[in-house]
């Protein structure tokens, strides 16, 4: 039962994060992270050495802040033409748990509507969550898009 309890708490946390991103509550999203947390969208889904590899995104705290500022500034034309994202996360599985961290894998189906065209990005997402009192903080989020090793189109939001 304790595992199910943990799973439910993790799901609630990740669903809240997804909702924040779909509804563009980016400042609240920034607060979900640890100071040293890393947000990664790798090209090769098998890659594990993200720091020494080219990724689509490799954001530490400063870059996450800049990415949010760019989305909110209205200066980037590509961020103005994606009307809304809708994402659904499921298939949650706890991969590891320690006194301080929980590692979780789940699936994500994200659809975007850009210039009236609907496009879907399925992905496997892994989280390393820091246990912080009764809550969690994101220490690492890795989004492995199903087509990451082929080619993408512009992504004017946060996956």
Chain positions contacting another protein, by CB under 8 A: 41, 43, 51-58, 63, 66-67, 69-70, 73, 75-79, 81, 115, 149-156, 159
Closer residue to another protein in complex, CB, 120/154: 154
Closer residue to another protein in complex, CB, 5/48: 48
- Min. distance of Cβ 66 from another protein in angstroms? 5
- Min. distance of Cβ 1 from another protein in angstroms? 40
- Min. distance of Cβ 149 from another protein in angstroms? 7
Which of 84, 85, 68 shows the shortest CA–CA distance to 32? 68
CA–centroid distance for 41 within its chain: 8
Closer residue to another protein in complex, CB, 91/119: 119
Burial class (CB in 10 A: 0-12, 13-18, 19+), 112: buried
| Sequence-ordered strand ranges (E) for 32-132 | 33-42, 55-59, 82-97, 101-114, 117-132
């Amino acid at each position: 039962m304790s595992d199910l309890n943990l799973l439910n708490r993790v799901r609630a946390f990740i669903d809240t994060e997804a909702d924040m991103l779909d509804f563009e509550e980016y400042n609240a999203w920034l607060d979900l992270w640890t100071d040293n947390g890393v947000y990664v969208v790798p090209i090769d889904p098998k890659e594990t050495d993200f720091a020494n590899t080219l990724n689509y995104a490799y954001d530490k705290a400063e870059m996450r802040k800049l990415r949010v500022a760019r989305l909110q500034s209205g200066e980037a034309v590509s961020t103005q033409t994606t009307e809304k994202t809708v994402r659904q996360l499921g298939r949650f599985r706890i991969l590891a748990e320690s006194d301080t961290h929980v590692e979780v894998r789940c699936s994500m189906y994200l659809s975007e509507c850009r210039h009236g065209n609907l496009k879907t990005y399925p992905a496997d997402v892994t989280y390393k969550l820091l246990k912080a009192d009764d809550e969690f903080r994101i220490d690492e989020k890795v989004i492995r898009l199903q087509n990451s090793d082929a080619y993408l189109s512009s992504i004017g939001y946060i996956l």
